[in-house]
Structure 1
Amino acid sequence: MSQYPVFYAGQRITAGLLSSALPLEAYKGSDTTRTATTVTADDPDLVLTLEAAATYYVEMFIHYAASSAELLKTHWTVPSGATGFRNAWGPAQTVATSDPAGDGRWGIHGFTTDVQYGTRSNATFQTMAWETGNVVTTGGGTLALKWAQNTSGLVGTRVAAGSFMRAKRIL
């Protein structure tokens, strides 16, 4: 089993060493709404900086709301040269009902592959998606949730307060 960092018997324990064992976290304290755009952009809150030559387990929990005509699409910004994959769980893009039950999507995708998610019956009711994955870096840089409307519209697609991301270095 991988462990980062490794603690050795007799090793001097420092604040830096203890801090390196903690996951990186970003929390969305307020909503962000995007209208009339299908061009994905980094979320202003769900952004972390990853170190070079490292492996991270990443999870993103996304609270969102969108009209059934607009929906949500996501992908990730990762450091240049990073390798890995991401997993996506949430309502299938064909789902648009007040009862959030329905078909789901679950798959493994590349970082820059657009993943489209369904919604509830209108842009007021929130639903959620969960994305996880492994990111192996060669150089350090930005990890971010990148998102937009799947179909451009004026109602707006909202990634809501309470969404978060976490990256735990494992190697």
Structure 2
Amino acid sequence: MPQYPLILPGHDITEALLNAMHPLFAFKAAHTDRSSTTTFAPDPDLILPLTGSAVWRVEAWLLYGAGSTGDFKTSWSVPSGATGNRSVLGPGSTASDGGADNIAMRAGVHNFGTTANYNGVRNSTGNLSFVLETATIWTASAGDVAILWAQNTSDATATRLGAGSYMTARRLA
């Protein structure tokens, strides 16, 4: 199976070539809380720059906490002209087990800009739940991929995207 970057015999090993082999990584060192808003905004920590004319595999591991009123919703921002879909996996909109042991799950494939709603199943910003979102992105031009998020229903009780959440991107072609 071909790997990116393709290294042919006689190819010079350069700094740029070696850097192209590494995945990109973004990590949340501190919580971000949002209250009384349903307007999507990029997370300040989960943004990665993608090169154009490339294929990328992106994964977002999101630790969130939300009250049962505000809940949590996501969407993605991708470079202009990018194509592909994202897959989502996390507590469904009707999940109701506060111990997060036996809950209804959401699993689907959506456009980047489609809203994915997740229940504040643990009814707290201190007891976090987990969401996995992944995508293969074909970029036409360079630009950022970002996780956008907000409350699903405006609530004075904050919704939190927790420390320890992260996002990775690996160039495939």
Which TM-score bucket, shorter chain as reference? over 0.9
How many pairs align?
A: 171
Unaligned runs of 5+ in 1: none
TM-score, with length taken from structure 1: 0.97
Per-residue CA shift, 1:59-90, capped at 9, x if unaligned? Answer: 00000000011110001010011000000000
2:110 aligned residue: 109
1:158 aligns with 2:144: no
Distance 1:167 1:57 in 2: 5
What SS does structure 1 have at the residue aligned with 2:109? strand
1:55 aligned residue: 55
TM alignment of 1:56-95, pairs within 5 A: 56-95=56-95
1:15 aligns with 2:15: yes
Picking from 137, 144, 150, the partner of 1:142 is 144
Q: Which has the higher strand share?
A: 2
Unaligned runs of 5+ in 2: none
Distance 2:11 2:53 in 1: 23
Runs of 4+ in 1 over 3 A off after TM superposition: none
Aligned-pair identity in percent equals 41
CA RMSD of aligned residues (A): 1.0
TM-score, with length taken from structure 2: 0.96
Distance 1:143 1:57 in 2: 11
Is the CA contact (8 Å cut-off) linking 1:120 and 1:126 kept in structure 2?
no
Distance 2:119 2:103 in 1: 10
Distance 2:166 2:2 in 1: 24
How far residue 14 of structure 1 moved from its aligned partner, in angstroms, is 1.5
Distance 2:95 2:119 in 1: 5
